[in-house]
Each structure stands twice: as C-alpha cells, then as structure tokens.
Amino acid sequence: MDRLTITKALQSLEGEENAFKELFSHGSLTVEIYKPEGVDLQQPHSRDELYVITAGSGYFVNGSSREKFEQGEVLFVPAGVVHRFEDFTDDFSTWVIFYGPEGGEKNP
C-alpha cells in the first residue's frame, strides 16, 4: 500500500474489537491507526514510536511528564517508556508509527 487516508483508516476500525489496527508494514516500519474509546489501556512498547495526532485533544503522559496535545502534533516515545493518552476528546484518533529494532534505537 502506498497511500493511507485517515478516512479509510478509521473505517477499517469499524466493527473491530481492538482500538488499533495495523495498516502498513515495510522492514522495521509499521503504521497503525489508533482510536481508543474513553480510556487508553496501552502498555509500553518494545520499539520506538511516533504518534501523529489526526483529530482531538487531551493530555499525553510520556514517562514522568504530562502535557496537553492537540490535532497536528507529532509525539515521540522511546521503546519501553510508560505512556498513555488521558482526558482526550471523543473524536481523538492518531497514526502510530513504530520503527527500528527491538529495544529502540540508541542515541550516538
């Protein structure tokens, strides 16, 4: 797949039990859509990730920080770090981009 749209991505979640769905992968790269309902129950991941907020706003816990987020922002989470979205609006959705090796990339 060489093209993803937010409309098609969200439609692909309809009727799914999970709040996320993998839509594309290539090598170590995977792209998912994520739209939790009410509560974000995710656990730390084994690879680095980016969130690209497609709609909504709320708060993002990333390790020991808790910051406001809104549509259009890009958020980075290193592998293994506790993180979650809190107090987010009903329309909240985000692209999730995982990449790199298990355990995350190392800073030089």
Domains, the chain, in order of start with CATH, read 6-99 (2.60.120.10)
pTM given for the model: 0.93
Question: DSSP alpha helices (H): ranges in the chain?
Answer: 6-13
Q: Other C-beta atoms within 10 Å of 99: how many?
A: 16
Q: Are 102 and 46 in contact (CB under 8 A)?
A: yes
How many Å apart are CA 33 and CA 23, to the nearest integer? 7
- The answer to whether the CB of 67 falls within 8 A of the CB of 94 is no
Q: How confident is the model at residue 78 (pLDDT cuts 50, 70, 90)?
A: very high
Instruction: Write down the pLDDT at residue 3.
Output: 85
Q: Which residues make beta-bridge pairs with 30?
A: 25, 98
